């Protein structure tokens, strides 16, 4: 299906509104990262991934691993818009026995590839899947989303070394470079820069993009498919809390849900977001 960039940005607006409503209803959750990664999820599900919502376990589908599972409200909302489950399920975020747990849980929602929670584990999982796919001569691609804060975890860097050593060119990692984590800005807690140079030193190809430019996100993922020498990391520079002025770039909203008044203001601000118009999609 062919979409314009304007249409995809309209979807992003609706998803952001859903995220606010989900977090308000649940009474807990991660506002900043969820809002910040909406455009990446929209780009992936509508313009990058080979997938089938009607057959979520299709053998040849691309795999998407979410390492920083706390931003799952954004992924859930995009999945609902894509047709994976009834949109009404979004209002049951985190309910006991529900399909949309506070972190993705494959037992309740088979359409997600892994159960996530412990930060730093996603790249290890994705690297294992990519390595196994190569051994089995499978052609699907493995995508993994990680946070910048979880780069504090040693097991993440073990996976970086493993993927580089094994030249896992069927692996693409997208880093949510939003510069915040639960306690403060990342560069105050554990400085990550120069991040791109670190990945290059471990044998990765590196692309840096605006994580809110849907066309740029899709183009970068397509470039990664064409790289056959090594794994690719896409460093997506995002604004935590994107679309809601009082949340943007504020670490206090990393792990906080809005109250009624804050949600009303957030929804009003999201409705006024501006977009670009260009042809995109198939």
The pLDDT, as a whole number, for residue 273 is: 81
The pLDDT, as a whole number, for residue 238 is: 98
* Domains, in order of start, for the chain: 2-281 (3.40.50.970)
The pLDDT, as a whole number, for residue 108 is: 96
The pLDDT, as a whole number, for residue 279 is: 41
Question: SS3 letters for 174-224?
Answer: EEEECCECCCCEHHHHCCCCCHHHHHHHCCCEEEEEECCCHHHHHHHHHHH
The pLDDT, as a whole number, for residue 274 is: 63
Q: Locate tokens 């929602």: which residue?
A: 109
Query: pTM for this structure?
Result: 0.96
d(CA 25, CA 3): 31
CA-closest candidate to residue 126, choices 155, 93, 152:
155
Contacts of 12 (CB under 8 A, 6+ apart): 38, 39, 42, 214
Helix (H) or strand (E) holding 75: helix 72-82
The pLDDT, as a whole number, for residue 3 is: 86
Q: Locate tokens 């998407």: which residue?
A: 64
d(CA 215, CA 39): 10
The pLDDT, as a whole number, for residue 184 is: 96
> What tens-digit pLDDT sequence spans the chain (282 residues)?
678 999 999 999 999 999 999 999 999 999 999 999 999 999 999 999 999 999 999 999 999 999 999 999 999 999 999 999 999 999 999 999 999 999 999 999 999 999 998 899 999 999 999 999 999 999 999 999 999 999 999 999 999 999 999 999 999 999 999 999 999 999 999 999 999 999 999 999 999 999 999 999 999 999 999 999 999 999 999 999 999 999 999 999 999 999 999 999 999 999 988 654 344 344
């Amino acid at each position: 299906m062919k979409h314009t960039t304007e249409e995809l940005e309209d979807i992003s607006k609706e998803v952001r509104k859903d995220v606010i409503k989900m977090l308000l209803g649940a009474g807990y959750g991660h506002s900043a990262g969820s809002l910040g990664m909406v455009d990446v999820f929209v780009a992936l599900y509508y313009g990058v991934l080979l997938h089938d919502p009607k057959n979520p376990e299709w053998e040849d589908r691309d795999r998407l691993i979410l390492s920083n599972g706390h931003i799952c409200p954004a992924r859930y909302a995009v999945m609902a818009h894509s047709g994976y489950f009834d949109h009404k399920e979004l209002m049951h975020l985190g309910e006991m026995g529900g399909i949309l747990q506070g972190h993705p849980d494959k037992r309740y929602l088979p359409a997600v590839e892994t159960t996530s929670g412990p930060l730093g584990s996603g790249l290890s999982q994705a690297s294992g899947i990519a390595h196994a796919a190569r051994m089995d001569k499978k052609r699907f691609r493995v995508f993994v989303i990680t946070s910048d804060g979880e780069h504090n975890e040693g097991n993440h860097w073990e996976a970086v070394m493993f993927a580089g050593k094994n030249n896992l060119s069927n692996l693409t990692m997208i880093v949510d470079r939003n510069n915040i984590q639960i306690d403060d800005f990342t560069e105050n807690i554990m400085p990550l820069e120069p991040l791109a140079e670190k990945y290059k030193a471990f044998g990765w190809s590196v692309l840096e993009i605006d994580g809110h430019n849907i066309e740029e996100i899709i183009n970068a993922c397509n470039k990664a498919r064409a790289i056959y020498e090594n794994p690719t990391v896409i460093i997506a520079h995002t604004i935590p809390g994107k679309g809601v002025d009082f949340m943007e770039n504020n670490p206090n909203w990393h792990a906080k849900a809005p109250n009624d008044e804050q949600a009303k203001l957030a929804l009003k601000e999201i409705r006024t977001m501006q977009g670009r118009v260009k042809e995109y999609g198939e």
